[in-house]
Amino acid sequence: MADPLAGVELRHLVALRAVAAAGSFGGAADQLGYTQSAISQQIASLEKALGEKVIDRGNGRGRVTPTPAGDILLKHTDALMGTLDAARDDLTALRGGAVTTLRVGAYQSVTSTFLPTVVRHVRELFPGIQFEIVEEMSDTDVEQHVIDGDLDLGFTVVPVAHTGLAGIDLVADPWALLLSAEHPPLAATDRESLDIADLDGLPICGAFNCRGFQHAISHLQGLGIRPHVAQHANDNALIQGLAAAGVGAALLPRLAYTPDPRLTVIPIDDLIPPRRVGLSWRVDRPLSPPAQALVDAARDVCAGMVPTWDTLALQT
């Protein structure tokens, strides 16, 4: 049986992507600098090669949309474009072109603690380097941007979920419950006075879409504890504020916590293993010298970190 993708060319996929984004052949033509008939021919050639319609043209007047086959192709096209962008960057480096920008993804607990020190170390070695720091709210988002080629490196929870990523484990980040000092949802004020049974049904505030948080909740559930979702939030300051107001107990790792007199901190290291924070990159991409310097700096800085609930020592 002939391979249906054998006749598919990159220009066909570029046209499909543009039509899907613009919602029309004319809009895609404007975006790519082609004539509308040229875009129509590219899509027709793609559909002929596949033996499937990839664009639903409707009645010819409204917005055109991808068919299910088109959606499948678009998903893989996005990844392909990321790979091509990465290949372009690697070829530039091979030809002696200097890497002038590092695109780094992270979440708040990294950007607010050790990442600035890492950036300073890299700048000392590469004074002209520029950083594009993208602060994402979840590990999954960071990893996907690295896979798509939008980011060179990404700080995320390890082990990474995507097989296309390589990475290193940097630091263990312990968990705690944060209780309102004025309106506590529990009578406990420290780990010794905390009755584990009281955690069952406890209203929890946290970043429920983050993989590290999901792992923490899973460990509690494995102990027979079923916390109640009081409020989801992405911002660490908001999570602490919700806890301080008595909406629920915040469940946060140490790097995400900013000392707050309104809160009582109860470490629960014996109930939940620490979150493992790491750094990842595409396994099929060689690291540029600045990227390697960032990896080395992150490893060195985090080797001097001691994230405990008594203190947060940071090697500078």
Per cent of the chain over pLDDT 90 is 52
pLDDT tens-digit map of 127-162: 989 999 999 878 888 998 998 888 999 999 998 888
Check whether 93 has a pLDDT greater than 90: no
CA nearest 269: which of 248, 254, 249?
254
Q: Quick check: pTM over 0.85?
A: no
Sole residue written with tokens 């490893």: 299
**Could you give the 3-state DSSP secondary structure of residue 226?**
coil
Is the dihedral angle over the CA atoms 252, 256, 262, 265 positive or is it negative? positive
As assigned by CATH, the class of the 98-171+276-313 domain is: alpha beta
Q: pLDDT at residue 216 above 70?
A: yes
Per-residue pLDDT tens for 19-44? 888 898 888 888 888 888 888 888 98
| Other Cβ atoms within 10 Å of 170 Cβ, number | 22
**Which stretch of DSSP H or E encloses residue 181?**
none
Give the start-to-end residue ranges of the domains of the chain. Answer: 10-73, 98-171+276-313, 175-273
Q: Do 104 and 294 contact (CB within 8 A), yes or no?
A: yes
User: Is 10-73's fold the same as 98-171+276-313's?
Assistant: no
Reply yes or no on whether the pLDDT at 316 is more than 50.
no
The dotted CATH code for 10-73 is 1.10.10.10
The pLDDT of 189-200, averaged and rounded, is 92
Cis preceding linkage at 159, omega within 30: yes
DSSP string over 240-295: HHHHHTTSSEEEEEGGG----TTEEEEE-TTTSPPEEEEEEEETTSPPPHHHHHHH
CATH topology (fold) of 175-273: D-Maltodextrin-Binding Protein; domain 2 (3.40.190)
Q: What is the pLDDT of residues 279-291, one digit of tens each?
A: 999 988 888 889 9
Cβ burial 111-145 (10 Å sphere, 16+ → b, else e): bbbbbebbbebbbeebeebeeeeeebebbbbbbbb
Task: Confirm if 226 and 99 have CB atoms less than 8 A apart.
Answer: no
